[in-house]
C-alpha cells in the first residue's frame, strides 16, 4: 500500500497534479452509543481472548483513484451525487488527508470548494481576503495592490467590510472566486460553486477561466453541467461509487455519465460495471436501416413542421463512409428508436447537406409498453459534444401523443434548416413520457448519426451558425 499524504512537488515538473491510488474511508456508527462501545468492548474482548466485535461499518468515499494532470490542462470531474467528487477535490487541495495513497501538487493552488470553506464567518470580507492570501503564501504587500482588482471583480459594494456571516450565498461565491483567481494561481480548483452565482457573474467567471487557460494555467473542476465539461475541458473523469470508472475525451465521458445518470438499482450497477471494466459502450443494435421495415396500418406519422415538399433539386448527397464513431444508447425503458436518417425534400436519404437548404430528420419508435404524455426530441451536437440546437416537442407543454399502446410504432419527422456552417455534426434522438414507473426517457440515442454540411465557396460567416448577418459601413463626418 502506498503511503498516504499530500506533497507539494517541484515547480519545474510537467505534471501539475499526480494522484496515486488515493482512498478515503470513514467510520460510520448507526447509534451514538456504538461509538462508546467501539472504544471499550473490543479491548476487553482481546484481553479475554475473544475475537473483537465491530460496532461500525466502513464507508469508502474513494477507492484507489489514480490520475495525472499535465500543466495547462483543463480537467472536468463529473458523476452522480454522492460519488466522491468533492472528497477528491478536498484531498487534492490538502484540506482533507487520504486514508491511503498520495497526492503531488506542483505549483500555487487556489481553490473554490463548497460554500463555507476557507472563510471565517466572523471576519469581514476584506479580512478573509488577506487570510486566504496568507494561506496561499501570497505576501501581504502583494495582496494590498491586488485587493482593488479583487473588490472590483466581486462587486459586493459596502458588504466587503461586513462579516461574512451576513452574506448571501451569491455574495460569498463572488468574493471567494474573486480571491481565488486574482492570486495568479498555477492551478485553479473549483467545486460546482459557480452554480450559485447569477447569470452575469457566471459569464464573467467563465471568461476569467478561459483567460487562465490561455495563460497556461491548470484547471480542475467538478460540474454537473455536461455542456460546461464539453466546452471547457481537454479531458474528463467519470467518478461513481468512489471509483474512477472512465477517463478520456469529454464528449465520450459525458455521454456515458448521461447514460448512467438515468438508471437506478441493478440496472445502474450493471452498466456501471461495464463502463468501469471496459471503458467502452455496450454492444449496439445492428443498423436497422438495412432491415427496410414497413410500418403497419396503426402507425402514427408525425410531421413537426410540414412545409412545401416540392421536388426541387439541391446539392445534397449520401456518403456511406460518414458514420458516427461514438453512438451511445440509453437502456430501453418502454421504447426503441431506430432507422435514424435525414431526407431531402425529394424524399432521398442524405447525410451531406447543402448549406441553407431544408431537410427532414426522421426516426422510428417502437413501444413495448403503454406510455402516456409522449414527447419526442432531437439535438444537434458539434464534434466536441456541444449542443447547438434542437427541440423537445411535447416535453414541457402539451404532449405530442396522450397515450401509446404496447406494440404501436411512430414515425417522427422533424423539418429543419441547414443553417450550420460547413463541418461535421451529430444528431441525438429521444422519446420521453410517463409510464407506471413515473416520468422516463423511454429511449434516447446520443450521436446516433453523423452528417456534414458541404463547403461553400467564399463563405464569410464565422462560428457555428449562419445568422444571416448583413454588413454595412459608411464614412462619417
In a domain, 26, yes or no: yes
In a domain, 159, yes or no: no
pLDDT at 419: 92
Residues 191 and 323 in one domain: no
Q: What are phi and psi of 68, to 5 degrees?
A: -130, 145
pLDDT at 307: 38
Cβ contact 110:136 at 8 Å? yes
Percent of the chain exceeding pLDDT 90 equals 30
Which residues contact residue 281 at a Cβ distance below 8 angstroms, ignoring those fewer than 6 apart? 256, 327, 328, 329
Percent of the chain exceeding pLDDT 70 equals 86
Rounded CA separation 72/78 (Å)? 20
Q: Is the pLDDT score of 48 beyond 60? A: yes
Residue range 85-96: mean pLDDT, rounded? 88
Residue range 434-454: mean pLDDT, rounded? 87
pLDDT at 278: 61
pLDDT band at 115 (very low <50, low <70, confident <90, very high): low
Strands 15-28 and 387-393: what pairing? Answer: unpaired
Residues 412 and 330 in one domain: yes
Q: How many domains does the chain have?
A: 2
Residues 318 and 435 in one domain: yes
Q: Is the pLDDT score of 445 beyond 50? A: yes
What pLDDT digit, counting tens, does each position of 181-203 carry? 777 788 988 887 665 556 667 77
Residue range 82-106: mean pLDDT, rounded? 90
Cβ contact 237:68 at 8 Å? no
Q: Is the pLDDT score of 406 beyond 70? A: yes
Residue 196 is part of which domain span? 5-107+186-278
What pLDDT digit, counting tens, does each position of 22-36 carry? 999 988 777 887 777
In a domain, 164, yes or no: no
In a domain, 166, yes or no: no
DSSP SS3 for 281: coil
Rounded CA separation 121/127 (Å)? 10
Residue range 91-107: mean pLDDT, rounded? 90
Cβ contact 358:314 at 8 Å? no
pLDDT at 130: 87
pLDDT at 198: 64
Residues 414 and 447 in one domain: yes
Q: Is the pLDDT score of 392 beyond 60? A: yes
pLDDT at 311: 37
Least confident range of 129-138, 305-314, 421-430, 440-449: 305-314
User: How does the average pLDDT of the chain come out, rounded?
Assistant: 81
pLDDT at 308: 37
Which residues contact residue 122 at a Cβ distance below 8 angstroms, ignoring those fewer than 6 apart? 163, 164, 165
In a domain, 324, yes or no: yes
pLDDT at 193: 62
Which of 278, 307, 326 corresponds to the end of one domain? 278
pLDDT band at 57 (very low <50, low <70, confident <90, very high): confident
In a domain, 345, yes or no: yes
Residues 198 and 100 in one domain: yes
The CATH number for 328's domain is 2.70.50.60
Comparing CA positions, the residue from 196, 316, 244 lying closest to residue 87 is: 244
What pLDDT digit, counting tens, does each position of 240-252 carry? 889 999 998 888 8
Which of 244, 278, 312 corresponds to the end of one domain? 278
Residues 208 and 265 in one domain: yes
What pLDDT digit, counting tens, does each position of 204-226 carry? 777 778 888 888 889 998 887 77
pLDDT at 403: 92
Residue range 358-371: mean pLDDT, rounded? 95
Comparing CA positions, the residue from 174, 211, 224 lying closest to residue 196 is: 174
What pLDDT digit, counting tens, does each position of 149-170 carry? 888 888 888 888 899 888 887 7
In a domain, 336, yes or no: yes
Comparing CA positions, the residue from 251, 276, 271 lying closest to residue 261 is: 271
pLDDT at 7: 62
DSSP SS3 for 285: coil
pLDDT at 4: 56
pTM reported for the whole predicted model: 0.67
pLDDT at 8: 56
The CATH number for 253's domain is 3.40.50.300
Residues 427 and 319 in one domain: yes
Residues 333 and 447 in one domain: yes
Residues 267 and 305 in one domain: no
Residues 265 and 360 in one domain: no
Element (H, E) at 264: none
Which of 278, 311, 338 corresponds to the end of one domain? 278
What pLDDT digit, counting tens, does each position of 305-327 carry? 433 333 344 668 888 888 888 78
Residues 293 and 226 in one domain: no
Residues 103 and 195 in one domain: yes
In a domain, 180, yes or no: no
Amino acid at each position: 500500500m502506498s503511503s498516504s499524504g499530500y506533497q507539494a512537488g517541484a515547480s519545474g515538473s510537467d505534471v501539475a497534479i499526480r494522484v496515486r491510488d488515493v482512498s478515503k474511508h470513514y467510520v460510520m456508527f448507526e447509534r451514538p452509543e456504538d461509538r462508546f462501545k467501539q472504544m471499550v468492548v473490543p479491548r476487553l474482548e482481546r484481553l479475554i481472548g475473544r475475537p473483537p466485535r465491530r460496532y461500525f461499518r466502513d464507508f469508502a468515499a474513494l477507492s484507489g483513484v489514480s490520475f495525472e494532470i499535465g500543466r495547462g490542462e483543463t480537467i472536468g470531474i463529473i458523476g452522480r451525487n454522492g460519488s466522491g467528487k468533492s472528497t477528491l477535490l478536498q484531498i487534492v487541495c490538502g484540506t482533507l488527508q487520504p486514508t491511503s495513497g498520495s497526492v503531488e501538487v506542483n505549483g500555487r493552488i487556489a481553490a473554490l470548494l463548497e460554500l463555507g470553506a476557507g472563510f471565517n464567518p466572523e471576519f469581514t470580507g476584506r479580512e478573509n481576503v488577506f487570510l486566504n492570501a496568507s494561506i496561499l503564501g501570497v505576501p501581504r504587500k502583494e495582496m494590498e495592490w491586488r485587493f482593488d482588482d479583487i473588490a472590483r471583480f466581486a462587486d459586493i459594494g459596502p458588504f466587503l467590510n461586513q462579516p461574512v456571516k451576513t452574506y448571501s450565498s451569491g455574495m460569498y461565491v463572488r468574493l471567494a472566486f474573486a480571491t481565488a483567481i486574482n492570486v495568479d494561481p498555477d492551478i485553479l480548483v473549483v467545486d460546482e460553486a459557480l452554480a450559485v452565482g447569477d447569470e452575469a457573474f457566471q459569464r464573467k467567471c467563465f471568461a476569467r477561466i478561459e483567460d487562465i487557460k490561455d495563460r497556461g494555467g491548470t484547471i480542475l473542476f467538478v460540474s454537473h453541467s455536461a455542456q460546461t465539461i464539453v466546452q471547457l475541458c481537454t479531458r474528463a473523469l467519470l467518478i461513481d461509487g468512489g471509483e474512477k470508472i472512465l477517463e478520456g475525451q469529454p464528449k465520450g465521458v459525458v455521454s456515458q455519465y448521461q447514460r448512467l445518470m438515468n438508471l437506478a438499482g441493478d440496472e445502474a450497477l450493471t452498466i456501471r460495471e461495464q463502463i468501469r471494466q471496459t471503458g467502452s459502450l455496450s454492444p449496439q443494435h445492428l443498423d436497422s436501416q438495412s432491415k427496410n421495415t414497413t410500418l403497419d396500418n396503426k402507425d402514427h406519422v408525425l410531421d413537426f413542421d410540414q412545409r412545401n415538399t416540392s421536388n426541387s433539386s439541391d446539392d445534397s448527397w449520401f456518403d456511406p463512409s460518414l458514420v458516427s464513431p461514438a453512438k451511445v444508447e440509453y437502456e430501453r425503458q418502454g421504447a426503441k428508436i431506430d432507422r435514424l436518417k435525414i431526407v431531402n425534400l425529394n424524399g432521398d436519404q442524405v447525410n451531406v447537406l447543402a448549406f441553407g437548404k431544408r431537410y427532414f430528420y426522421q426516426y422510428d419508435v417502437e413501444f413495448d409498453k403503454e406510455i402516456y404524455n409522449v414527447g419526442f426530441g432531437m439535438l444537434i451536437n458539434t464534434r466536441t459534444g456541444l449542443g447547438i440546437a434542437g427541440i423537445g416537442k411535447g416535453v414541457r407543454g402539451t404532449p405530442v401523443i396522450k397515450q401509446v399502446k404496447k406494440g404501436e410504432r411512430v414515425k417522427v419527422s422533424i423539418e429543419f434548416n441547414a443553417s450550420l456552417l460547413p463541418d461535421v455534426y451529430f444528431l441525438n434522438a429521444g422519446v420521453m413520457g410517463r409510464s407506471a414507473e413515473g416520468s422516463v426517457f423511454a429511449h434516447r440515442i446520443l450521436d446516433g448519426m453523423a452528417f456534414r454540411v458541404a463547403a461553400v465557396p467564399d463563405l464569410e460567416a464565422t462560428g457555428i451558425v449562419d445568422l444571416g448577418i448583413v454588413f454595412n459601413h459608411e464614412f462619417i463626418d
